[in-house]
């Protein structure tokens, strides 16, 4: 059998393994299948290439350009995922494990592509929060902006998810406009190398946006500067070693870490045997123990059940685990494959023995279990192992030892506060789950355990049909956790993109802020266009272009007609004496929605034209009551333009209604779709 040469991709060149290369064995047979690493890799040149070639190209694009690029990349990988599945079996993973890794990674990229287009502007600057009023007359304002870091993101990944682990970091990095150097764990780097080859061969990425180090990273971290970021997933020991690198400390290099985590799952006191929640709990926990043979940063390591249910939980879990067929992951009948390497097998057995000093093994014997289609001694196979800790209050190792395999410990609790105390003994974890149908239990856990966990997952009979699983980090939600879990945060939608951008407070006049943020700021120059703005196409409209409407007097008859027509006969509009008793109103007033309707009547251009649809209204505020006899007028200003497709784009209009004394009575943002 030929040994695969796993290459690196450095400064635009594929570099084959060389001096210092490490051998990689199949998790199933123990035979060497690949080799990776080259001590001669010029890491400084790689950093320079990313910074000087990849960075400028990515920064020249808008968020929407980069989101479209992510979508194309994800689509390309999707077309070639069969090859990624094939390559993944030797890591010990089953077909359903591949789907979590490969499809999960591609799905994550698609979500970032979508969020980039929906939640970020078609511009190079991201605005963080609203304009801050820093002066009485509004001539000096504040705004926070985010711009891409002008360095390189170095991604150091764990062995367990060679595709998802890369893509979940790469998607937010590229969306931010920052090039990446990916360093997968050596044990499974041949899968990552294939995914990188696919992405590079697609021609979708600009040169320098993505480089790969297969094998050791050399002294790359010693060359990082303030504009670079390290995103790490792996063990707490390695994280500590890397984040204490003097260059990283001296240059305040951002270091995002996701490391060991003693995740817990709590069975609610209401979830007794016979309830849908009890069955759900057993199903979720056994799935978390055996998926990826327990090599998941989010896997359930501690099973926290009411004292009275411990026995029932052990019995039900053992029965379910007994159905887990272990074997060659290529066999369709196999439910659980192997650990990634013999090294990991030794590590897991060693850690299980440590847990065994405080807990009794109640299911699974590493010295006696069946492996289908492979040699149990040559491959990195272990059986699921369930422990029971009878005294979790005085135990320590069950709360701090992560056996990175199918190993979990059941422990009993007295009441919900005690369950929270035990969950928090993990000293910070990525996720804790609670299976309960009692919302009060959920609230109590959220208050007591929220600060100790990056994610809390609640599930019960109402949500189980659509829930995504305790162990699945979702691109929309934060992934990371405090304390032992590394103190980092990944994903979380646009929050995840921010790790690769610098937030800067901008202070200046409205026109300065408008120019930088590429959207009109109140107080900024108002441009009078050559014609009614609703007659002008998307591309013709300028930011700041403003329409001033004539005024209209509101009569008592208008108010009554509107009340009777809509059925909104609220006393403030109908009963003068009652309205006067209300501190908000001088007497009968016009409906806010009547004012909005009049505003539309004042600014509309009735003929067929480029305005295709009114798609919504944001940030509506009624600021002053309008009484019969008052007159109102409208100012409509183009605030922001966002192309949506080839045919039309969204125009966000700033709308202000004022009365005869020029006081604001209402303000909002109107959204229209306008043809190009």
Concerning whether 86 is annotated as a catalytic residue, the answer is no
Stretch that binds ligand NDP, among 231-239, 263-271, 409-417, 558-566 (CB under 6 A): 231-239
Pick from 108, 143, 261, 637: which binds ligand NDP (CB under 6 A)?
261
The DSSP code sequence of 438-454 is -HHHHHHHHHHHGGGEE
C-alpha distances (whole Å) from 434 to each of 386, 426, 431 are 19, 15, 10
Concerning whether 297 is annotated as a catalytic residue, the answer is yes
Give the strand pairing for 4-6 and 32-36: parallel
Find the binding residues for ligand NDP in span 295-314 (CB under 6 A): 297
Closer to ligand NDP by Cβ: residue 264 or 596: 264
Closer to ligand NDP by Cβ: residue 186 or 659: 186
Distance CA 219, CA 108 (A): 31
Closer to ligand NDP by Cβ: residue 100 or 313: 100
Within 8 A by CB and 6+ apart from 17, the residues are: 5, 6, 7, 35, 36, 37, 38, 214, 215
Distance CA 255, CA 439 (A): 37
Q: Determine how many CB atoms are found less than 10 A away from the CB of residue 400.
A: 16
Report yes or no: 534 and 604 within 8 Å, Cβ to Cβ: yes
CA angle 381, 392, 453 (to 5 degrees): 75
Stretch that binds ligand NDP, among 127-135, 157-165, 361-369, 552-560 (CB under 6 A): 157-165
Distance CA 176, CA 179 (A): 9
Q: How far is the CB of 609 from ligand NDP (least distance, A)?
A: 56
Interface with ligand NDP includes 233 (CB under 6 A)? yes
SS3 302: strand
Stretch that binds ligand NDP, among 41-49, 184-192, 358-366, 491-499 (CB under 6 A): 184-192
Q: How far is the CB of 232 from ligand NDP (least distance, A)?
A: 7
Distance CA 509, CA 501 (A): 24
Find the binding residues for ligand NDP in span 455-514 (CB under 6 A): none
Find the binding residues for ligand NDP in span 337-396 (CB under 6 A): 344, 347
Report yes or no: 488 and 257 within 8 Å, Cβ to Cβ: yes
**Catalytic position from the list 189, 193, 288, 297:** 297
Interface with ligand NDP includes 258 (CB under 6 A)? yes
Closer to ligand NDP by Cβ: residue 187 or 514: 187
Interface with ligand NDP includes 4 (CB under 6 A)? no
Stretch that binds ligand NDP, among 81-89, 178-186, 588-596, 663-671 (CB under 6 A): 178-186
Interface with ligand NDP includes 402 (CB under 6 A)? yes
Interface with ligand NDP includes 185 (CB under 6 A)? yes
Interface with ligand NDP includes 164 (CB under 6 A)? no
Q: Determine how many CB atoms are found less than 10 A away from the CB of residue 31.
A: 13
What does the block give as tokens for 659?
A: 């009365």
Q: How far is the CB of 86 from ligand NDP (least distance, A)?
A: 22
Pick from 234, 269, 384, 473: which binds ligand NDP (CB under 6 A)?
234
C-alpha distances (whole Å) from 411 to each of 103, 264, 395, 498, 513 are 34, 10, 10, 39, 57
Distance CA 566, CA 486 (A): 57
Interface with ligand NDP includes 217 (CB under 6 A)? yes
Count of chain residues binding ligand NDP (CB under 6 A): 25
Closer to ligand NDP by Cβ: residue 402 or 650: 402
Closer to ligand NDP by Cβ: residue 470 or 588: 470
Report yes or no: 127 and 519 within 8 Å, Cβ to Cβ: yes
Interface with ligand NDP includes 262 (CB under 6 A)? no
Interface with ligand NDP includes 186 (CB under 6 A)? yes
Interface with ligand NDP includes 630 (CB under 6 A)? no
Report yes or no: 146 and 155 within 8 Å, Cβ to Cβ: no
Interface with ligand NDP includes 636 (CB under 6 A)? no
Distance CA 88, CA 271 (A): 38
Report yes or no: 200 and 507 within 8 Å, Cβ to Cβ: no
**Catalytic position from the list 168, 193, 258, 402:** 258
Within 8 A by CB and 6+ apart from 389, the residues are: 358, 359, 395, 398, 409, 410, 411
Stretch that binds ligand NDP, among 167-175, 233-241, 384-392, 612-620 (CB under 6 A): 233-241
Q: Contact positions toward ligand NDP, by CB under 6 A?
A: 156-160, 183, 185-187, 216-217, 233-235, 238, 242, 258-261, 297, 344, 347, 402, 404
State the catalytic residues: 258, 297
């Amino acid at each position: 059998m030929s040994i695969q040469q796993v290459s690196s991709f450095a400064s635009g060149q594929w570099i084959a393994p060389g001096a210092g290369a490490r051998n990689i064995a199949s998790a199933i047979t123990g035979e060497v299948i690949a080799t990776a690493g080259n001590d001669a890799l010029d890491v400084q040149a790689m950093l320079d290439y990313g910074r000087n070639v990849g960075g400028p190209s990515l920064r020249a694009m808008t968020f929407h350009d980069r989101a479209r690029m992510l979508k194309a990349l994800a689509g390309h990988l999707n077309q070639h995922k069969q090859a990624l599945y094939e390559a993944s079996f030797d890591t010990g993973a089953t077909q359903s494990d591949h789907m979590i890794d490969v499809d999960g990674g591609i799905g994550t990229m698609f979500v970032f592509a979508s969020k980039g287009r929906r939640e970020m502007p078609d511009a190079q600057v991201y605005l963080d929060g609203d304009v801050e009023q820093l002066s009485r007359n509004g001539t000096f304002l504040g705004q926070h902006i985010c711009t891409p870091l002008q360095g390189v993101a170095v991604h150091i990944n764990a062995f367990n998810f060679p595709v998802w682990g890369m893509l979940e970091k790469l998607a937010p990095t590229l969306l931010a406009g920052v090039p990446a150097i990916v360093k997968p764990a050596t044990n499974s780097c041949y899968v990552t190398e294939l995914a990188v080859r696919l992405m590079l061969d697609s021609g979708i990425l600009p040169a320098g946006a993505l480089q790969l180090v297969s094998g050791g990273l050399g002294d790359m971290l010693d060359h990082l500067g303030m504009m670079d970021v390290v995103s790490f997933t792996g063990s707490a020991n390695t994280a500590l070693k890397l984040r204490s690198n003097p260059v990283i400390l001296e240059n305040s290099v951002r270091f995002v870490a996701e490391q060991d985590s003693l995740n817990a799952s709590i069975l609610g006191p209401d979830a007794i045997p016979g309830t849908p929640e009890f069955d759900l709990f057993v199903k979720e926990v056994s799935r978390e123990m055996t998926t990826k043979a327990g090599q998941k940063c989010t896997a359930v390591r501690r099973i926290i059940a009411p004292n009275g249910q411990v026995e029932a939980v052990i019995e039900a879990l053992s029965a379910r685990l007994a159905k887990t067929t272990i074997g060659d992951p290529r066999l369709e009948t196999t439910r659980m494959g192997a650990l990634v390497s013999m090294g990991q097998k030794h590590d897991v057995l060693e850690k299980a023995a440590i847990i065994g000093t405080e807990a009794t093994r109640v299911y699974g014997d590493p010295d006696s279990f069946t492996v289908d289609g492979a040699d149990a001694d040559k491959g990195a196979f272990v059986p699921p192992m369930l422990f029971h800790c009878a005294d979790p209050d005085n135990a320590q190792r069950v709360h701090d030892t992560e056996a990175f395999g199918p190993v979990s410990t059941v422990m009993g609790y007295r009441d919900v506060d005690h369950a929270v105390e035990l969950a928090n003994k993990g000293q910070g974890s990525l996720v804790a789950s609670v299976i309960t149908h009692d919302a009060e239990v959920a609230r109590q856990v959220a208050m007591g355990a929220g600060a100790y966990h990056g994610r809390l997952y609640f599930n019960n009979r109402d949500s189980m049909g659509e829930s995504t699983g305790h162990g699945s980090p979702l691109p929309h939600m934060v992934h990371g956790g405090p304390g032992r879990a590394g103190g980092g945060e990944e994903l979380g939608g646009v929050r995840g993109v921010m790790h690769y951008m610098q937030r800067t407070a901008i202070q200046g006049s409205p026109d300065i802020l408008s120019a930088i943020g590429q959207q009109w700021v109140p107080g900024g120059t108002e441009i009078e266009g050559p014609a009614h703005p609703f007659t002008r196409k998307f591309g013709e409209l300028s930011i700041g272009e403003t329409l001033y409407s004539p005024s209209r007097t509101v009569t008592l008859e208008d108010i009554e007609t509107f009340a009777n027509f809509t059925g909104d006969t609220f006393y403030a509009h109908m009963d003068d004496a009652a309205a006067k008793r209300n501190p908000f109103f001088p007497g009968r007033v016009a409906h806010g929605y009547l004012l909005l309707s009049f505003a539309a009547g004042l600014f509309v251009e009735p003929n067929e034209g480029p305005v295709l649809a009114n798609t919504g209204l944001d940030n509506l505020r009624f600021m002053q009551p309008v009484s019969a006899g008052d007159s109102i007028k409208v100012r409509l200003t183009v605030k922001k333009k966002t192309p949506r497709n080839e045919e039309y784009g969204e125009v966000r209009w700033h709308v202000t209604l004022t009365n005869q004394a020029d006081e604001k009575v209402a303000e909002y943002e109107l959204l229209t779709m306008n043809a190009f």
